[in-house]
Amino acid sequence: MGEGTFRLLKQSLYSFGPTLEWFIAQMFQREFASPAMYGVRFKEAPSGGDYDVITLWEERMVYVETKSSPPRGIERGEIGSFLARITDLLPDIAFLFNDTQLRMKDKIVLMLEEELYKRFGASSSNKFPIDRLVDELFHINHRIYIVNSKRDAIANFTLCLRDFLSRQRADLFPILPPPHKSNV
């Protein structure tokens, strides 16, 4: 086999999940020069389970939850676990990444809205609005991102990370007032 190519040692796979976690960790290392770990487990973590990918990017902790099944195969409990892990870990940025070309709005965003409502009540839509960044990329307060792999996973993560940085820097250095939205 040539350099930069990979071959699976096992002929059958139970789950693609660990491979996807490895891929995202590699992406952060190679594309964003960020040390990354995948399949991280903490003893006695209140939320249980594992943290799919944790990386340090631009001196900020990033947590990525990966999902390899299509949106219809993702359950609301998994969304709740994602939010619980964010609460336990307190990363600067968090991603819910679904390796799919399918729409995120129809199921993933709806389940996330339901789970936020369950945790925070009627005020959740004001405190934690889920807004479209572009296409099928969404964010909650420019800190939690819902991302798919449509077109290019690396480009999608790059777009979200740029959005996060632009919001953080604007908050730190309000040299210019925010642009006004025009009705044109």
Provide, rounded to the nearest whole percent, the portion of the chain with pLDDT above 90. Answer: 40
Whether the pLDDT of residue 116 is over 70: the answer is yes
pLDDT value of residue 19: 78
pLDDT tens column, 57-93: 999 999 999 887 776 777 888 888 899 999 889 999 9
CATH topology of domain 17-172: Trna Endonuclease; Chain: A, domain 1 (3.40.1350)
Average pLDDT, the chain: 83
- Quote the CA–CA distance of 72 and 83 in Å, as a whole number: 19
pLDDT tens column, 31-61: 999 999 999 988 888 877 789 999 999 999 9
The 3-class secondary structure across the chain, one letter per residue, is: CCCCCCCCCCCCCCCCHHHHHHHHHHHHHHHHCCCEEEEECCCCCCCCCCEEEEEEECCEEEEEEEECCCHHHCCHHHHHHHHHHHHHHCCCEEEEEECCCCCCHHHHHHHHHHHHHHHHHHHHHHHCCEEEEECCEEEECCCEEEEECCCCHHHHHHHHHHHHHHHHHHHHCCCCCCCCCCCC
- Quote the CA–CA distance of 145 and 132 in Å, as a whole number: 10
Whether the pLDDT of residue 139 is over 90: the answer is yes
pLDDT value of residue 140: 92
Q: How far is CA 126 from CA 43, 123, 131, in A?
A: 35, 5, 11
pLDDT value of residue 75: 82
pLDDT tens column, 2-29: 677 766 666 655 555 577 899 899 999 9
- Quote the CA–CA distance of 116 and 58 in Å, as a whole number: 28
Say if CB 102 and CB 110 are below 8 A apart.
no
pLDDT value of residue 177: 54
